[in-house]
């Protein structure tokens, strides 16, 4: 797998430090609130696991699976493949996402989840790729900005591969036909 990586963008240590910074910030901001972390599967599960351990206040977790990509390209439409298993009433929802790029998925989720009457709804993304944005979505918590290149590792994939890399790397274009 490592032979498919053009270069490492963020090391395991840099990611860990960023996740802990976000956990501290979220813990302070949500103190005394009823925090529900909603992970967007599959990519965000690695980030969510580390983030919830970095949060020092009580929280509840749930998962959604959505799809908007095929290979390296967004299809432009979002489908819910697995919905939440609980009501959002009474919760302060924090959507935990691995990467905010086009914004289509998070724009859609904000609308859908906002209709379910949570106390509040905000976004936490580990990686933000503002150059790729097509929807007007801004995350409330951002770990790191990334260039408009195809990145993999730490949950991010190409055709379900590379999620288990402990770092974030830029995938060689010849791997995905870029």
Q: What residue segments make up the domains of the chain, in order of their start?
A: 12-149
- What pLDDT sits at residue 49? 96
Q: What pTM value is reported for the model?
A: 0.92
d(CA 93, CA 173): 37
Percent of the chain topping pLDDT 90: 83
Catalytic residue check, 62: no
Tell me what the pLDDT averaged over the chain comes to: 92
The stretch 97-120 carries a mean pLDDT of: 94
Instruction: State the architecture of 12-149 in CATH terms.
Output: 3-Layer(aba) Sandwich (3.40)
Whether 72 shows a pLDDT value over 60: the answer reads no
Alpha-helix runs per DSSP H in the chain: 12-29, 45-54, 104-114, 173-176
What mean pLDDT do residues 63-91 have?
Answer: 80
Q: What is the pLDDT of residue 73?
A: 55
What letters, b where the CB count within 10 A reaches 16 and e where it falls short, cover 114-125?
eeeebeebbbbb
| 95, two tokens | 């959507």
The fraction of the chain above a pLDDT of 70, given in percent, is 94
- The one catalytic residue among 50, 98, 101, 128: 101
What DSSP string describes 68-102? EEETTEEEEEEEEEE--SS--TT-EEEEEEEEESS
């Amino acid at each position: 797998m490592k032979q498919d990586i053009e270069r490492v963008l963020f090391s395991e240590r840099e990611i860990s430090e960023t996740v802990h910074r976000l956990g501290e910030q979220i813990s302070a901001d949500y103190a005394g609130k009823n925090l529900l972390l909603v992970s967007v599967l599959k990519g965000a599960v690695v980030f969510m696991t580390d983030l919830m351990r970095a949060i020092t206040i009580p929280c509840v977790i749930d998962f959604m699976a959505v799809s908007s990509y095929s290979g390296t390209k967004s299809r432009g439409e979002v489908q819910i493949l697995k919905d939440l298993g609980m009501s959002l009433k009474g919760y302060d929802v924090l959507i935990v996402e691995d990467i905010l790029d086009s914004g289509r998925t998070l724009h859609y989720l904000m609308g859908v989840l906002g209709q379910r009457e949570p106390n509040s709804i905000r976004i936490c993304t580990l990686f933000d790729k503002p150059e790729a944005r097509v929807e007007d979505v801004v995350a409330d918590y951002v770990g790191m900005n990334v260039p408009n290149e195809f990145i993999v590792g730490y949950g991010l994939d190409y055709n379900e591969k590379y999620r288990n890399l402990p770092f974030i790397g830029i995938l060689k274009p010849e791997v995905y036909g870029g």
